[in-house]
Structure 1
Amino acid sequence: MIGEIYADALAGATAEIEYVDGTRVTLETACWFEPVDGDEAFLSRCSGPTLDIGSGPGRLTVALTHRGVRALGIDITPRAVALTRRAGGFALLRDVFDEVPGSGRWATALLADGNIGIGGNPELLLRRVRQLVRPGGEVLVELAPPEATSRVDRVRLRRGPLIGDWFGWATVSVSDIQRVARAGGFPLVDCWTTHGRWMARLS
């Protein structure tokens, strides 16, 4: 059901993220299709083979491909993969914790748009990504601002009468990324902000 609601949202349907306390916010999928201010701060740092984790409709995967950078997007939703391919990018239907092509050989992994929250356990996710990138490889992550509280929420997707299962999603503040990165196997952290977005390079 999660995948169905997410796929419908990518097709333009209105969907919401619901928290356990009853709070609901609109799932803003439209912004994932077109370039977003600040994307260049990610794209310009990808010079080698790049794995875009949770690539959605593929705006970053496609942009890298157009620049001549070998890039692969992975997403758990068939519609997202199809949209990426239709736009000229390479994508596979894959969970980051499943077998991923090129494991141990990617120069860069992307966790944009808050995707460090995947699975609700950032340290575990980064340990997995550590296995995917090559020695000396980097992870580029997008983070919550320094005043935000790092946390793990239980959320689900809703679209009209359709309600998905609960799943974990983490928020990591830039103030906490050094601790989280070290626990995930990345001792070096370089942070910056651009166009109101907070980002870090882990190595």
Structure 2
Amino acid sequence: MTAQLAEPATRAWQADPYAVALRTGQGPLFLRRRDGWLLPLEVERWCAEPDAADDTVLARCAGPVLDVGCGPGRLVTALARLGHTALGVDVTPEAVARTVRAGGSALCRSVFDPLPRQGRWGTVLLIDGNIGIGGDPAALLRRTAELTAPGGSLLVEVATADVDERVEVHVEDGDGDRGASFWWARLGARALCAEARGAGWTPYDTWRTAGRHFVHLTR
């Protein structure tokens, strides 16, 4: 698989029911695999203020920060309040609009599109499972390495389980309304670190808090 797999996902995230959930700030919302397995999406948390686990991410940010798949922008706006130059990118217009309304800066683009400050971001974020974007973690890790300054950091939220999978999914709400199918990935810390080394990243630290698991990689 290549980074080109991001394009169907781009269309899927722009469509209902994901955009509707962001507009209202409420779920339920799920990723459903073809075999019926469901992954709940935490829309209410994404639309709230940063929580204690998010604070541990914010504390590790240095320099200008790029939040990939920023969603409704809770981290971008918090970083701006902390004095960082911060930019969110998201393929969903409603996510970008919500970020801007909250006082953050965001662009409606894929991470694989041309972006400002390429090669000069001090920290890049892949939080809330966004290592899954495009279903090709190796391509995403290479792309984030291109975006990050030498010596910069990539902060990734990984699955709490020791998992390494690329799956076809769709977004579905509690009423059974669904979006288009697209590829997604789920990685635990061990799988992420293995992929990262081949993409120019060095594992630096891992931590768990409030039931969430994170990895700090350096360029």
TM-score exceeds 0.5: yes
Of 64, 72, 90, the residue aligned with 1:75 is 90
Larger fraction in helix? 2
Instruction: Structure 2 unaligned segments of length 5 or more: list them.
Output: 1-10
What is the CA-CA distance between 1:37 and the residue it aligns to? 2.6
Of 126, 145, 149, the residue aligned with 1:134 is 149
Q: In the alignment, residue 18 of structure 1 is paired with which amino acid?
A: R
Between stretches 105-114 and 173-182, larger displacement belongs to 173-182
TM-score (norm 2): 0.86
Is 1:21 matched with 2:32? no
Q: In the alignment, residue 38 of structure 1 is paired with which amino acid?
A: A
Q: In the alignment, residue 72 of structure 2 is paired with which amino acid?
A: P
Aligned partner of 2:80 in structure 1 is 65
Distance 1:189 1:40 in 2: 19
SS in 1 for 2:35: coil
Q: In the alignment, residue 82 of structure 2 is paired with which amino acid?
A: R
Q: In the alignment, residue 4 of structure 1 is paired with which amino acid?
A: A
The number of aligned residues is 202
Aligned partner of 2:159 in structure 1 is 144
Instruction: Structure 1 unaligned segments of length 5 or more: list them.
Output: none
SS in 2 for 1:124: helix
* Percent sequence identity over aligned pairs: 44
Of 26, 29, 32, the residue aligned with 2:46 is 32
Aligned partner of 2:21 in structure 1 is 9
Distance 2:172 2:212 in 1: 27
What is the CA-CA distance between 1:140 and the residue it aligns to? 0.4
Q: Which has the higher contact order (CA 8 A, sep 6+)?
A: 2
Distance 2:93 2:152 in 1: 28
Would the aligned equivalents of 2:118 and 2:147 in 1 still touch at CA under 8 Å? yes
TM-score (norm 1): 0.93
